[in-house]
Amino acid sequence: NTSSHDLKIADQKHHLHPFTEHGSLGVDDRRVISKADGVWLWDTDGNRIMDGMAGLWCVNVGHGRQEIVEAVRAQMSELSYYNTFFKTTHPPVIELSEMLAGIAPDNMNMVFYAGSGSEANDTILRLVRTYWALKGQPSKKTVISRKNAYHGSTVAGASLGGMGAMHSQGGLPIPDIHHIDQPYWFGEGMMTGMSEDEFGLWAARELDRAIEKIGEENVAAFIAEPIQGAGGVIVPPATYWPEVRRILESRDILFISDEVICGFGRTGEWFGSGYYDMKPDLMAIAKGLTSGYLPMGGVLVSDEIAEVLHREGVEFYHGYTYSGHPACCAAAIANLTIIKREGLVERVRDHIGPYFQTRWKSLQEHPLVGEARMVGLFGSLELVPDENDLMKRFDNVGKVGTITRDHSFANGLVMRAVRDSLIISPPLTITEDEVDHLVATARKTLDDAWGSLRT
Ligand code: PLP
């Protein structure tokens, strides 16, 4: 039996982790996760840890669902792989596409498959430009995105994203991507002197100003997550999305909703755009599509876009070997069946969401917390140095967030640090008792961090 320590040594020797500062990652800093069930993880050192992040915001139905495992096993023994290029198709991809059309907004009935959220956004970038070229407007190429957005790690995904650290590596963004400000009230808006509603309107009108500057004839689309996830669970002011919607209705550009995190129940609606009553032309999906049991992404498109792609002689020169992989389709079908049968979306909207939100927001009383926010099961704690002056920030951005996250891990709860905030996004199946446990652990974590900042 390989010991936990041996595993960590081998990991250090041979495994390059994504988004990791390897130079400061010691052998014993590693956590080898070897088993999971429901909202719980176990590591090879014998610790039980609550998964407050649903993996990477993806395990919506919880870990260890044998129904998904069985569905994948059955599909693999029947048809483990075949492609969906040219004329070929297969039963699970047909069934899944029909299911997704039933879940998606009424004007969306077709789906293009990818292997991940990044590939979904790569597909989208090419697709929106192709769409406008086919409509005889090839100048409409620029995609407007937002600062601090995360849309994936491929060249197109990282370019669409608005993370400076990612742009500075590898010469990104690629041309014709334009980033506008994000509607981040706690982090930026509060300091402007505007009210929250005014700031929401101002941030929304950044879109209009960008369209004016670039020229509507050059703008293909606006891409946004309904609530930015990796950027820090940025819940926009109430005025933001209605104003963006008004602007989009007055402009001839496409709206792309990146639903990779917000989709499949996270906000208490099937899609985050539905939560805000937005009408996207395209949606990027991944993560909760299979609850992470197998990798899969996709792009849902409006009937208008589908119609252009069905014109005589039109071919979209794009596709992946694993577009519509049968085993991934089987995982997605079993996963969506669970979400529907157990009413998980409604559960988040009407029951466990409100239950969690009330308890989460009570953490705001802690002296280290400037704001505790949560929509659906999607929340953040903004940590501040002085609860009596919410404009003040820690000097060394990110340090207190990381320290607090490490306390959380040590206390048996996975939360993620984004700058000096802590993020929570648990499986949608979390019970009331587990919510109570999570909030109590978060409170203890804040006390521990508060204590260690004072010593
Ligand atoms: N879009 C959003 C909003 C995401 O949060 C992510 C991943 O976290 C992606 C796209 C990229 O998805 P993937 O990691 O599956 O490529």
| Residue 386 to residues 33, 424, 444, Cα–Cα distance (Å) | 36, 23, 19
Nearest ligand 1 atom to alpha carbon 286: 15
**Does 263 sit in the ligand 1 pocket, CB within 6 Å?**
no
**Does 160 sit in the ligand 1 pocket, CB within 6 Å?**
no
- The neighbouring-strand residues paired with 219 are 142
Q: End-to-end distance of the chain based on CA atoms, in angstroms?
A: 41
**Does 231 sit in the ligand 1 pocket, CB within 6 Å?**
no
**Does 230 sit in the ligand 1 pocket, CB within 6 Å?**
yes
With 0-12 / 13-18 / 19 or more C-beta atoms within 10 angstroms meaning exposed / middle / buried, residue 20 is exposed
SS (H, E, C) the chain: CCCHHHHHHHHHHHCCCCCCCHHHCCHHHCCCEEEEEECEEEECCCCEEECCCHHHHCCCCCECCHHHHHHHHHHHHHCCCCCCCCCCCCHHHHHHHHHHHHHCCCCEEEEEEECCHHHHHHHHHHHHHHHHHHCCCCCCCEEEEECCCCCCCCHHHHHHCCCHHHHCCCCCCCCCEEEECCCCCCCCHHHHCCCHHHHHHHHHHHHHHHHHHHCHHHEEEEEECCCECCCCCECCCCCHHHHHHHHHHHCCCEEEEECCCCCCCCCCCCCHHHHCCCCCCEEEECHHHCCCCCCCEEEEEEHHHHHHHCCCCCCCCCCCCCCCCHHHHHHHHHHHHHHHHCCHHHHHHHHHHHHHHHHHHHHHHCCCEEEEEEECCEEEEEECCCCCCCCCCCCCCCHHHHHHHHHHHHCCECCEEECCEEEECCCCCCCHHHHHHHHHHHHHHHHHHHHHHCC
Distance between CA atoms of 178 and 180, rounded to whole angstroms?
7
* pLDDT value of residue 208: 98
Single out the residue of 145, 224, 210 nearest to residue 177, CA to CA: 145
* pLDDT value of residue 1: 61
Q: Which residues of 379-415 are buried (b: 16+ CB within 10 A; e: fewer)?
A: bbbbbbeeeeeeeebbeeeeebbebbbbbbeebbbbb
Domains along the chain with CATH numbers: 31-61+343-453 (3.90.1150.10), 67-341 (3.40.640.10)
Q: Please give the distance, rounded to the nearest whole angstrom, from the Cα atom of residue 8 to the centre of ligand 1.
A: 27
The one-letter amino acid at 450: W
* pLDDT value of residue 2: 81
> pLDDT tens digits, the chain, 455 residues: what are they?
689 999 999 999 999 999 999 999 999 999 999 999 999 999 999 999 999 999 999 999 999 999 999 999 999 999 999 999 999 999 999 999 999 999 999 999 999 999 999 999 999 999 999 999 999 999 999 999 999 999 999 999 999 999 999 999 999 999 999 999 999 999 999 999 999 999 999 999 999 999 999 999 999 999 999 999 999 999 999 999 999 999 999 999 999 999 999 999 999 999 999 999 999 999 999 999 999 999 999 999 999 999 999 999 999 999 999 999 999 999 999 999 999 999 999 999 999 999 999 999 999 999 999 999 999 999 999 999 999 999 999 999 999 999 999 999 999 999 999 999 999 999 999 999 999 999 999 999 999 999 998 87
**Does 258 sit in the ligand 1 pocket, CB within 6 Å?**
yes
Q: What's the pTM value of the predicted model, to 2 decimals? A: 0.98
CA 182 from centroid of its chain's CA atoms: 16
**Does 152 sit in the ligand 1 pocket, CB within 6 Å?**
yes
Q: Tokens 């395990």 label which residue?
A: 59
Nearest ligand 1 atom to alpha carbon 119: 16
Q: Please give the distance, rounded to the nearest whole angstrom, from the Cα atom of residue 54 to the centre of ligand 1.
A: 14
**Does 262 sit in the ligand 1 pocket, CB within 6 Å?**
no
| Cβ-Cβ contacts under 8 Å for 292 (sequence gap 6 or more) | 54, 55, 56, 58, 59
Q: Please give the distance, rounded to the nearest whole angstrom, from the Cα atom of residue 228 to the centre of ligand 1.
A: 11
Q: Please give the distance, rounded to the nearest whole angstrom, from the Cα atom of residue 325 to the centre of ligand 1.
A: 19
